[in-house]
Amino acid sequence: MTKSKRGKRAGEKKHCHRDNDNRTDYTAIDKDNAKFEAYYRTQGIIPDDEEFQKFWTCLKETLPTTWRFTGSRGHAVSVRNTLLTRHIPALTNTTFDGAAIPAPTALPWYPDQLAWQLTVGKQVIRRSPPFKQLQAFLVSETSSGNISRQEAVSMIPPLLMDVESHHTVLDMCAAPGSKTAQLIEAVHSGEEDRVAEASKRLNGASTSENGTAVETGEASEGLLGRSTGIVIANDADYKRSHLLIHQTKRLNTPNFIVTNYDATLYPPLKLSPLPAADGKPPQQQYLKFDRVLCDVPCSGDGTVRKNPLVWRDWNVGNGNGLWSTQARILVRGLQLLKVGGRLVYSTCSLNPVENEAVVHAAIERCGGTKVVEIVDVSDRLPGLLRRDGLTKWKVMDRDGTWFENWEEVRDKGEPYTDRLTRGMFPPEDQDAELAQMLKRSVRVYPHLQDTGGFFITVLSKKGPIKAAPEGEKVQTGGQKMKGVGTEGTDTAAAADQDTTMVEVAPSNGVKRALTDEEEADPGSPTKRQKLEEQNLEEPSPEDEKEPDEPAPLDFPSSEPKPAPKEQENTKETIHKKPRSNFNEDPFKYLPSTHPVLATIRQFYDVSRYFPQNNFLVRNAEGIPVRTIYYTSSLARQILTENEGRGVRFVHCGVKMFNKQEVQDPDACQWRIQSEGLPIIERWVGERRVVYLRQKETLRWLMKELFPRVEDCGEIKERMEGIGGGCCVLRVEVEGIDALVLPLWKSRYTLNLMLPKEERKAMLLRLFDDTEGPVDSTKAQREADARARKAAADATGNVVDQQEDDIKEAKDEDEDDDEKEDALVDVDE
Ligand SMILES: C[S@@+](CC[C@H](N)C(=O)[O-])C[C@H]1O[C@@H](n2cnc3c(N)ncnc32)[C@H](O)[C@@H]1O
């Protein structure tokens, strides 16, 4: 790390803050907090004094900028290669004011060199030409969604989940969604190759070779090479749940659902019932998860290097106040997990009360280590420096009194017994096995690899979780433990004979269980009321966090802006929000026989193997008005089986077709959206496919907003011969990774239907073009139109105006969902 002063990067401005938007002046914050330091010294999280000093010094230093290349592996690797081949050589051996400036480095533990870190300050970036070029690259690829700025440590939990393409995955506290994006990428891992192979096999094969697929006329997604798993991302804050849509937008995944629940009360989701057998009625099935991520709300003191308000505001009550919610979320996650499944619990806090204590309490709650085990991940992510989880810690009350164990609290009585709980303490001597297991947790400290602080535990579920008596915690060390979510015996809503979560009081009290009926109905008023009752809890410090400090590298964060102040995710907003705030259009699947789908199939000659039942629209009438979305089959099953139950589904489906004005009466009004194209392109018939093989033609199509058909060289003839409307452009140019793009053909012009930012990023990446697209054929088109009009006037014919051509071929990004875009923050 190159630093000119403690806490400053090479070339960093002395005062780098922004106060133009009424945010806090971070430099005015004193980076000292005696209580904060004393707390961690006393906890002994780093027993060696010298090492503790290094750790503490590091907390005051600016965090390096880190990012990840996102999207499918092939795509991410292709964008990463531009960094490797074009920028890194130019950045190596760079100096600034006579000092050596370090080039970005790949995070040693992140697979395939897809995550990077940069430690230089803004001054260098602004004044050093190669760094300026790097910045332009990062800005452009971030805007187009190919790069996601994400803290290094925050990338760890999804990597330890071992997600596979058929897995059902629940991200319980997901917003803004950087980890959700990683989970989605993992579900789709290997899909490109599988689909390529399947399409070759199915499209080329005779009917009889394809067995059942042919009989039904629709192959299963597995047979098509597509991933069959799903990611459900949830957040309790309705506004923040919409951030998840933005964050994952460029991943174009049909295997994704967003929900809006308090995770402690996450409802059971119905699946199709098992068919009746042996005279018995059909058996109701509920969704259970192969993988669950509990990246819970926390005090966030591990983020102190990018969130200096921690220095000002840290107090022990923050962590203590969150313990109950964290433990209840974890218990609910374990209940929703399949036996044999894996759950990752993580926080960006260093506090054992929010970490090991929560894991300990939840395991106890669920029946001990025979039922839930901590997985040893010490051999995973080689290159990641870490420390073991703690087995011993103390608990401090907010008045500063320290307690070694629960008995001491009990002896002192109120108010401590109100504020603290048994579950916050470490395992007692008889729980030696669990204590040893806690060591398997992962603690990442900032000074080890110049990162933020983080805590991760990987849990594996060995057996069904047993029900505890209503209103009481399972026995632990001969004592009843209150305060972690308790379970009622579950019947109808049981997802696998496991038990179902019931409601408990915010701190230590215990309330009655939800009835099965209430549990099965996520919209039940009782459940709502229970959510509202939780308003009594203190707002969580996590919820009050300020936006990020500007990072040393001035390129936009891909994380959307937190909700405006009055809508921030305080617990108050989570729980007090009137129900009517939930305002989502319904999800209505179109029957495969719908005439619009029939027209689309016919025009694009869509393979009969492509699923026909997975198209939906977002209106109660089920009418394709403007957009048709596509979802995976499992997503369809979940949405349809739970229709009418009041489930708070916020999002599902990739835009596949958009209605478009067309002049050509033979053209299909429904154009393929760039979002949906990667899903359907291999199943579109050759009559709507155009091949492009020369780099210059590609440059021309990208550069010109409305290139005239007659100027398109190599593809001119093909374009003249093809009818109007949307086509699939296959780019097979030597030296460029294969591309498939949607191309619109109007009568006289063409238009690549790409979001503006993506077009700009491609121009820069592929052609070193910093200017972006232009409309240089405008004068020529106008002249052409005038000439055509004059000719028509002379003959009495009516001709279209060039404006119609343009109207027809609007740039795709104009269609972007305004609701989503309003949430985007380009944090420059
Ligand atoms: C640490 S952040 C999650 C960060 C996210 N996993 C990521 O990687 O981008 C915690 C999130 O939990 C949400 N949250 C707070 N209380 C919750 C609850 N009871 N149930 C579900 N989500 C909750 C907050 O709104 C916040 O978005």
Backbone angles phi, psi at 422, to 5 degrees: -55, -40
Per the CB < 8 A criterion, the answer to whether 442 and 456 are in contact is: yes
294 labelled as ligand-binding? no
Per the CB < 8 A criterion, the answer to whether 150 and 110 are in contact is: no
Q: Which of 234, 296, 322, 484, when mutated, tests ligand 1's pocket best, judged by the most ligand atoms within 8 Å of its CB? A: 296
> How many CB atoms are located within 10 Å of the residue 273 CB?
12
* Rounded-to-integer distance, Cα 808 and Cα 210, Å: 40
178 labelled as ligand-binding? yes
Output the DSSP codes for 73-108: HHHHHHHHHHIIIIIHHHHTTEEETTEEEPPPEE-T
Task: Compute the C-alpha angle 652/653/657, nearest 5°.
Answer: 150
Per the CB < 8 A criterion, the answer to whether 718 and 790 are in contact is: no
Q: Which of 173, 244, 318, when mutated, tests ligand 1's pocket best, judged by the most ligand atoms within 8 Å of its CB? A: 173
The predicted pLDDT at position 448 comes to 98
379 labelled as ligand-binding? no
* Rounded-to-integer distance, Cα 812 and Cα 674, Å: 8
Backbone angles phi, psi at 116, to 5 degrees: -135, 160
246 CA to centre of ligand 1 in angstroms: 16
Per the CB < 8 A criterion, the answer to whether 43 and 393 are in contact is: yes
Which among 16, 58, 298, 348 is annotated as catalytic?
A: 348
Give the tokens for residue 621: 């009438």
DSSP letter (8 states) at residue 535: G
Q: Which of 84, 103, 253, 246 is nearest to 163 (CA)?
A: 253
236 CA to centre of ligand 1 in angstroms: 7
76 labelled as ligand-binding? no
Per the CB < 8 A criterion, the answer to whether 675 and 254 are in contact is: no
511 labelled as ligand-binding? no
Task: Strands of 264-399 (E only): list them.
Answer: 270-274, 283-286, 289-295, 337-347, 372-374, 387-388, 395-396
How many alpha carbons lie under 13 Å from residue 136 in its C-beta half-sphere? 18
* Rounded-to-integer distance, Cα 727 and Cα 745, Å: 7
348 CA to centre of ligand 1 in angstroms: 12
Helices 49-59 and 34-43: crossing angle in degrees, nearest 10, is 140
462 CA to centre of ligand 1 in angstroms: 27
Amino acid making up residue 536: L
Amino acid making up residue 761: A
The predicted pLDDT at position 471 comes to 34
> How many CB atoms are located within 10 Å of the residue 392 CB?
14
Look up tokens 């209430």; give the residue: 518
Task: Compute the C-alpha angle 237/509/527, nearest 5°.
Answer: 40
DSSP letter (8 states) at residue 218: S
The predicted pLDDT at position 808 comes to 53
Ordered domains of the chain (ranges, CATH):
26-155 (no CATH), 167-581 (3.40.50.150), 584-659 (no CATH), 688-821 (no CATH)
Sign of CA dihedral 49, 51, 57, 63: negative
The predicted pLDDT at position 274 comes to 87
Output the DSSP codes for 543-557: GGPPPPPPPSS-S--
pTM for the whole structure: 0.84
ipTM of the complex, rounded to two decimals: 1.00
Amino acid making up residue 295: D
Q: Within the chain, which residues score under 50 in pLDDT?
A: 1-8, 10-23, 206-215, 467, 469-497, 499-556, 559-579, 798-803, 806, 811-828
With a CB cutoff of 8 Å and minimum separation 6, the contacts of 129 are none
Ligand 1, CB within 6 Å, residue ranges: 154, 172-179, 235-237, 240, 262-264, 295, 297, 325, 569, 574
70 CA to centre of ligand 1 in angstroms: 22
With a CB cutoff of 8 Å and minimum separation 6, the contacts of 363 are 369, 371, 372, 374, 434, 437, 459
Per the CB < 8 A criterion, the answer to whether 521 and 268 are in contact is: no
Give the tokens for residue 496: 């696998």
* Rounded-to-integer distance, Cα 553 and Cα 131, Å: 10
Q: Which of 159, 235, 351, 576, when mutated, tests ligand 1's pocket best, judged by the most ligand atoms within 8 Å of its CB? A: 235
The predicted pLDDT at position 633 comes to 96
Q: Catalytic site residue 348?
A: yes
CA distance from start to end of the chain: 24
